[in-house]
Amino acid sequence: MKLDIEKINIKKIAENISSIDYEDNKLKFWCNGLCLPFGLENEYNKMILKLELEEKNDNHMHIKKVIKHIEKMIITKMNVEEDEFKSIIKKRPNKCDILELRIKTIKSSILTDVEYEDKTNNYLKTIYDIPKQSFLKTQIEINGLWDYRTDKKEKNKIGLIVYATKIIVLK
């Protein structure tokens, strides 16, 4: 996936929130075989998936490369200092890096679509039933940017808003 920095459009939609699109479309792509080691988590009243990016998996490394490339473009385009940017890819020593994705919600209703590959044994299960150590095929959407930078430099941070918009729990 080759991205042209000039085709990424950042539009402010609220005081601290901007939308990001690429040629008037949301940036969406699939990643297969991501391990969910800890299950569904809640951070700052947002549901989060922390997924492992395996170095031996070409698809995972491609997704990591694309996200890092987009983050670098944002840093360049918006004149952000490296230490101000909060990446959605977390480094872990001697372990797989973690990709943090939000579950898409609106007014406490979950918009992220979840299905199970084994439909007969899991026909009533929801996102809350995804077990730890599951493998997922996930559609990733880079939706926007949050920006809480101020003149006071102590806690300046900016980062991407990235959602899991569709999840398929693999057997």
Q: How many beta carbons lie within 10 A of that of residue 162, not counting itself?
A: 21
Place of tokens 């959407």: 141
Overall average pLDDT of the 28-46 stretch:
92
What does each C-alpha distance from 48 to 39, 103, 153, 163 come to in angstroms? 9, 6, 27, 9
* SS3 label, residue 45: coil
Instruction: For each of the domains in the chain, give its residue range(s) and CATH number, in order of start.
Output: 5-169 (2.40.50)
Give which of 4, 5, 56, 12 is closest to 144, Cα–Cα. 12
Of 6-10, 11-15, 34-38, the range with the lowest mean pLDDT is: 6-10
Token output for 29: 């792509």
CA atoms within 13 A on the CB side of 71: 20
Position with higher pLDDT, 81 vs 90: 90
Looking at the whole model, is its pTM more than 0.75? yes
Q: How confident is the model at residue 42 (pLDDT cuts 50, 70, 90)?
A: very high
Region 40-49 average pLDDT: 92
The mean pLDDT of the chain is 90
**What is the pairing mode between strands 89-90 and 97-103?**
antiparallel
Contact (Cβ atoms closer than 8 angstroms) between residue 101 and residue 87: no
Sequence-ordered strand ranges (E) for the chain: 8-12, 17-22, 27-36, 41-43, 46-53, 85-86, 89-90, 97-103, 105-106, 109-110, 113-116, 134-147, 158-169
